[in-house]
Amino acid sequence: MGSDLTKYLRVEKLPHIWCAGCGHGIVTRAIVKAIDELGLDPVKVTVISGIGCSSRAPGYMNFDTLHTTHGRAIAFATGVKLARPELKVIVITGDGDAAAIGGNHLIHAARRNIDLTVICYNNTIYGMTSGQYSPVTPLGSFASTAPYGMVERPFDLCELVMGAGGTFVARSTTYHARHLTNVIKQAIQHKGFSFVDAFSQCPTYFGRRNNLREALAMLNWYKENAVSREDWAKIPPTERGSKFPIGVFKDEEAPEYCESYRKVIEKAMKEGDAK
């Protein structure tokens, strides 16, 4: 039996703004479940988001919460974390928020290896502004601004963050809710920059244009196309089709930025005293 998760929610702020069948509620539940299972002190958890359907999640979560400007959550979070390194800082973002307008902040936070946990509610579309393509919209799929099919090549966000130097990188989906909770738990516990690419269905705008009108159809699509990273490695690249890997892709130790800067402070204070 699980414990009561409503204590992590601002129940008086419900109902939420999300459409029926939206995946964002499932990811949000996975985050609070992870926090609960880790037994974190809720007073020492700060949740920060940008702008988008996904970024509305912190408003329903009972922690210190900061809903910032489009794409900038990671930069705000960098200020919070450096000012108070003892806080667990979790960033909630969307695929547009994190990878288009906020892409620069994403790669630089990963490069610094600052101890933030970034969870991208990835629906491969701009939900809030009603269905324009994002930097991860798959080739050939349809969006309100890709009426003839997407011709831009998408990012693989996990590859992007690994390439930029992030030290914990994982992917899961709303179909794999237990797995999702587990990778979020590992991400939160990881010391350094951690990133979870959480596939989350948007039946309203992605599904409707791409023959996946029902949320259930989208969840089934995740079920049928997600493969473990071990199995993924065994499939010849030409046969991968719409399949994608889930799991933990990277879990490495490297100097964490706040700790490195703490040493700068110690050094500067000592040298200052010596003068």
Ligand X SMILES: Cc1ncc(C[n+]2csc(CCOP(=O)(O)OP(=O)(O)O)c2C)c(N)n1
Residue nearest to ligand SF4 (CB): 127
Partner interacting with residue 26 (select from ligand SF4, Mg ion, ligand X, none; CB below 5-8 Å by kind): none
- Copy the structure tokens of residue 234: 């065994």
Partner interacting with residue 19 (select from ligand X, another protein, ligand SF4, none; CB below 5-8 Å by kind): ligand SF4
Nearest approach in angstroms of CB 128 to ligand SF4 is: 6
CB proximity list for 104: less than 8 A, separation 6 or greater: none
Candidates 95, 115, 197, 256; binder of Mg ion (CB under 5 A) is: 95
Please say which residue, 233 or 265, places its beta carbon nearer to another protein: 265
Q: Is 123 in the site for ligand SF4 (CB under 6 A)?
A: yes
Partner interacting with residue 204 (select from Mg ion, ligand X, ligand SF4, none; CB below 5-8 Å by kind): ligand SF4
> Around Cβ 211, how many Cβ atoms within 10 Å?
10
Task: Verify cis geometry, omega within 30 degrees of 0, for the bond prior to 138.
Answer: no
* Residues 21-40 contacting ligand SF4, CB under 6 A: 22, 24
The region of 8-16, 21-29, 40-48, 89-97 touching Mg ion under the rule CB under 5 A is 89-97
Q: Is 94 in the site for Mg ion (CB under 5 A)?
A: yes
Q: Give the footprint of ligand SF4 on this chain (CB under 6 A).
A: 18-19, 22, 24, 53, 123, 127-128, 202-205
Q: Give the footprint of Mg ion on this chain (CB under 5 A).
A: 94-95, 123, 127
